[in-house]
Chains A and B, each alone.
Chain A
């Protein structure tokens, strides 16, 4: 990995971490655990589209570890980890299918699987399946927020292509 790429990925990790910390300080929109804007996915998606899945995995892991140290209890590490890994896996598959285009579709699918992953880990940690009742509401909200973050990534992504020379 070249120095330039390492620094760029570190910058992306910092941006994702900052977005995540600021977003977790916002008041909750609805009294249902798990509904959030998920703006840090914008960075993950841009890194995935421009650098590939391995680098996106590094950025995601670093961001989750650092975020759970800086701005949360240690339990949020498990939630973010499960949701984030499932999200990245689904976005990699979808990205491969769509050849790095139509980013908002990838983002919606990533958001859906992120929330599914968080519900699964909540069911495991609370050892009761009654949490599954929240799934329809979470799916609807994740589709809406996934579309929003997908559009943000879509408009942000051309700035990072190698033609523009920003990176």
Chain B
């Protein structure tokens, strides 16, 4: 062919990059459409489920403080149908900028304090709960 081998590789690389870009865009749009408003919020500290909060029957806003190691803390506020971090000891403060989440599109994470807040739409019975029974 008239295209030299290096130009062929460049076009191949650019094609891969465009493919990744399109796949990310499509998956974002699909996620956004299928984001369902959540009823339960799971709080994970260091990968361990520490709290389950029911978001649907909150009559009064309340806040709770999650303590970690070395004086690390995150203050979480729960409103009717949404949950968010209002103050934190982490140095970057990204978790506070994330605001309040009310659907399962994106979790709130505080990476320095290893806290993950996930909203799920119905009680999921995957790895979060223990085995009910084993068959042989």
Contact = CB atoms under 8 A, between A and B. Distances in A.
Interface of A: 28, 31-33, 73, 75, 79, 94, 97-99, 101-102, 105, 108-109, 112, 122, 125-128, 130-131, 133-137, 139-140, 143
Contact of B17 (A28, A73, A143): A143
A131 B107 contact: yes
Contacts of A33: 92, 94, 109, 111
Contacts, number: 89
B20 A112 contact: yes
A130 B20 contact: no
Nearest to A122: B111
B94 A75 contact: no
Contacts of A131: 107, 109, 116
A112 B28 CA distance: 17
B6 A31 contact: no
Contacts of A94: 13
A122 B112 CA distance: 10
Contact of B13 (A79, A105, A122): A105
B133 interface: no
B68 interface: no
A137 B16 CA distance: 17
A122 to B, nearest CB: 6
Contacts of B91: 73
A127 B47 contact: yes
B107 A98 contact: no
Interface string B4-26: 00100110011011001101110
Interface range, B side: 20 to 34
B6 A101 contact: yes
B28 A136 contact: yes
Contacts of B116: 126, 128, 130-131
Contacts of A102: 6, 10, 13
A98 B109 contact: no
B112 A75 contact: yes
Nearest to B10: A102
B33 to A, nearest CB: 14
Contacts of A32: 94, 98, 106
Given A73-B91, A131-B116, A126 B28 contact: no
B27 interface: yes
B10 to A, nearest CB: 5
A-B CB proximity, top 4 nearest: A127-B47, A31-B97, A136-B24, A31-B98
B44 interface: yes
A134 B47 CA distance: 17
Nearest to B111: A33
